Amino acid sequence: MLKGKLEHFFSRYLRTMLFEYCDILDCFNGIQFISIEPTDFGRVHGLLNRIGYSFNCIEHSAFFFEGRLVYSSLDPAYVRHIYH
């Protein structure tokens, strides 16, 4: 009974989604990460640490490149809100 109801709902729901106009990760509040070389990641992390030490009012930081997350010291739930 439950399986039938779920199949009925999702078969109708998925047809209404316009996948050509959005990224599937956006539909489910996903975050796209970018993979970079370890040395570049170290540079980004070091830069954000230096900024944090220079400006005491900065508690957390996040670094995005080309719309993708490289590093964040924030809770993933907060990053999801910033990302979208």
Query: In this predicted model, what pLDDT tens digit does every residue of 29-51 receive, in sequence order?
Result: 667 778 889 999 999 999 999 99
Break the chain into its structural domains and give their ranges.
20-83
What is the amino acid identity at position 36? I
Cα distance between residue 26 and residue 3, in whole Å: 27
3-state helix, strand, coil in the chain (%, to 5): 55, 10, 30
- DSSP strands (E only) in 18-83: 62-65, 68-72
Cα distance between residue 67 and residue 33, in whole Å: 9
- DSSP strands (E only) in the chain: 62-65, 68-72
Predicted model pTM? 0.59
For the chain, percent of residues with pLDDT exceeding 70? 81
Q: How confident is the model at residue 9 (pLDDT cuts 50, 70, 90)?
A: confident
